[in-house]
Chains A and B, each alone.
Chain A
Amino acid sequence: MKYLISRAFVALLFLWTMTGSCLGAEDYEQLFRQTSDLMAQGDLDGALALLKQVPAPKADEEAGPFVSSRMQAARIYASQKASDKAMTTCQEVLKLFPDNNEARNFAAALKDLQKPGWHTALSDTVRFLPALAKGALMTLLLVFCTMLVSPLGGLLVALGRISTIKPISGFCWFIIWFFRGTPLLLQLFFIYYGLPSLGITLKPLTAAVIGLGLNYSAYLGEIIRGAIQSIDHGQMEAAKAIGMSYSQAMRRVIIPQTYKRLMPPVGNEFIALIKDTALVSTIAMVELMRAADQLFNTYFNITALALAAVIYLVLTTIFTFIFEKIEYRAGIYEHR
């Protein structure tokens, strides 16, 4: 298809230059007519040979026939995909007439043609990367803040859930019920757009960390509770039997044994978190997703989105790797 279009383009240019060069000397007129006949017969080599007969003009001679013949030759070469030869021919003209627009544009177009597809993608990448990297840093900041807040919140919620004190366990049940049961997007909207009506105005980053922190505390809370309750009941009894209090037993005996069991589901959650941070783009935060979206809307260039996908994949891959390592370390006492 591309080939056909370029052929048609060449033919049109050819016709246009023909009419232009008709104003030259009679010899040239005949030469160009012969050339077009040869081209019509498909004898491109013959046409090229004829065109090459037009000599470079002397100082006082007219440039038209020479430029026309060389540009015609360049177009033939280009149509034959011999862009090297086409380029040399263009440069032949440019050497004598550096200001010739036709030759200059043609050379530029040839240069672009010579660039492979990945070159365009690469230049887009170079252009988009700074903005995306800035966005990715913000995404990472959100992830790290949430990773600091939510395990603590999750532990509190988990301990509250298994507490025998009814109001505490009821409250923690409610927290989990609410934050797992409503969309994160809605929670973010409520915190960022809703709280100001109660007189609490938060910066986007604060609102985002609070929203993500609460949501992930609820999820991690259930994971931690499951891990705690999966530890053999005998461990608690043995701890109590040597005189430990409940909190000592939790801190020294039960919770340390949950680490290994926690790693796979918690790793899962944190990978989900990396992607969930994309939702805070809706509350005026420019993180990776928003940055990519802005670039896409400015340049209508899909490369921005593809790059964002690659950055997300890189981040999640790194996290997966780290969590595998931590899981191995956490369970080292089980290795025989």
Chain B
Amino acid sequence: MSTVSQPLLKLENITKRFKNLTAVNSVNLDVAAGEKLVIIGPSGSGKSTLLRSINLLEEIEEGTIRFEGREVGYVMRNGKRHPDRPQAISALRAEIGMVFQHFHLFPHMTVLGNVMEGPLTVQHKPADEARSIAVEILAKVGLSDKRDVFPATLSGGQKQRVAIARALAMQPKLMLFDEPTSALDPELVGEVFDTIHTLADEGMTMIIVTHHMGFARELADRVIFMESGNFLAQGTPEELFSSAQDNDRIRGFLNRLL
């Protein structure tokens, strides 16, 4: 089976520049189906930019993105790179779930409305089907009782769980988490962490950008330490933390976090 041999996501020489700053510097990355990848590193190291480049929220200057083997996001025309058609880009995003640091729930929709929105508007499912999908997923993230309230009434942890449910409702093949607990009060981190943990146990492929070492230790198959747009080190959590003994930069970063 070709799906076993080829990675779900393959990044080749991804480079993203902002004016005179190179945020991501020729990065290569393979993510196998079912893999849990955690990216750590100091602020401004390019972790979030890399993540956003994957679902095409950032336009990259160089490199190719392969999703399930096919090249996505960009087309060559007259020897120049152009973003692909909007429909193709939307279609890719529909297959990749994303969770943001600041949730970005739709404030004018109820919790149920938020979760239904993808199936309803993007997948054009009938309302009752979209509704039953949303009801089921909200039960999974433990928010069945909050179905009919507006996001403004929720705690940060609850909001983030709704955001996760909203992404899951699209039945994505890959989940991207962009610092999902950074905007939360410390006592609310646990519930979001548990939700992501449950998802990981079900075999979801995920890339998590985080400062939360619990993700790295308990969830990650592989941890990448990123700095100044480059992968400085990568390996299993054990490998990375032991290599930290030899690497001043990684050790310094980890010590600051602990």
Q: A residues near B, CB below 8 A?
A: 232, 234-235, 237-246, 248, 252-253, 256-257, 333-336
**Cα distance A240–B86 when bound, in Å?**
10
For A241, what are the chain B residues with a Cβ–Cβ distance below 8 Å?
Answer: 55, 57, 93, 96-98, 100, 167
Partner of B100, one of A238, A243, A333, A336: A238
- With both beta carbons as reference points, the residue of chain A lying nearest to B52 in the complex is identified as A237
Closest to B101 in A: A234
Hey, what's the 0/1 contact readout for B57-96 against A, CB within 8 Å counting as 1? 1000000000000000000000000000011001101111
CA distance A256 to B117 in the complex (A): 14
Task: Output the least CB separation between A148 and chain B (Å).
Answer: 24
A325 vs B91: C-alpha distance when bound (angstroms): 40
A237 surroundings in chain B (CB, below 8 A): 57, 100, 104
Question: In the complex, which of the residues A235, A240, A335 contacts B90, with contact meaning CB atoms closer than 8 Å?
Answer: A240
Total chain B interface residues with beta-carbon distance under 8 A: 32
Contact between chains at B152 and A240 (CB < 8 Å): no
Secondary structure of the A side of the interface?
helix
B102 to chain A, nearest CB (A): 6
Nearest B residue to A232 via CB reads B104
Known: A237-B57, A336-B153. A242 touches B104 (CB 8 A): no
Residues of A within 8 A of B93 (CB): 240-243
14 examples of A-B residue contacts, CB within 8 angstroms: A232-B104, A234-B100, A240-B57, A240-B90, A241-B93, A241-B97, A242-B94, A243-B123, A245-B87, A246-B86, A253-B106, A257-B106, A257-B107, A334-B152
The interface residues of chain A lying within 8 Å CB-to-CB of B102 are: 234
Residues of chain A within 8 A (CB-CB) of B55 are 241
3 interchain residue pairs of minimum CB distance: A243-B94, A238-B104, A234-B104
Is B29 at the interface (CB under 8 A from chain A)?
Answer: no
Contact of B152 among A235, A243, A246, A333 (CB under 8 A): A333
Q: Which residue of B lies closest to A252 (CB)?
A: B121
The contact of B106 among A235, A248, A334, A335, by CB within 8 Å, is A235
13 extra A-B contacts, CB within 8 A, seeds A241-B98, A241-B100, A257-B106:
A234-B100, A238-B100, A238-B163, A241-B167, A242-B93, A242-B122, A242-B166, A242-B170, A244-B122, A245-B86, A245-B90, A248-B122, A333-B150
Nearest CB of B to A234, in Å:
4
With A238-B100, A241-B167, A242-B117 as known contacts, state yes or no: A256 contacts B108, CB within 8 Å: yes
Task: Give the complex CA separation of A238 and B97 in angstroms.
Answer: 10
B107 touches A333 (CB 8 A): yes
Contact B152 A238, beta carbon cutoff 8 Å: no
Q: For A239, what are the chain B residues with a Cβ–Cβ distance below 8 Å? A: 106
Q: Which residues from A are CB-within-8-Å of B108?
A: 256-257, 333
Cα–Cα, bound, A334→B167 (Å): 23
State the CA gap A256–B86 with chains docked (Å): 22
**Residues in chain A near residue B97, CB distance under 8 A:** 241-242
In Å, the complex CA distance between A235 and B102 comes to 10
Please name all residues of chain A whose beta carbon is closer than 8 Å to the beta carbon of B7 when the two chains form the complex: none
The contact of A336 among B106, B118, B121, B152, by CB within 8 Å, is B152
Contact indicator B57/A238 (Cβ below 8 Å): no
- Tell me the complex Cα distance, A335–B90, Å: 33
Q: Is the CB of B104 within 8 A of A243?
A: no
Q: For B117, list chain A residues within 8 Å (CB).
A: 242, 252
Central interface residue in A232, A245, A246, by most chain B CB within 10 Å: A245
Of B121, B150, B163, chain A has the most CB atoms within 10 Å of the CB of B121
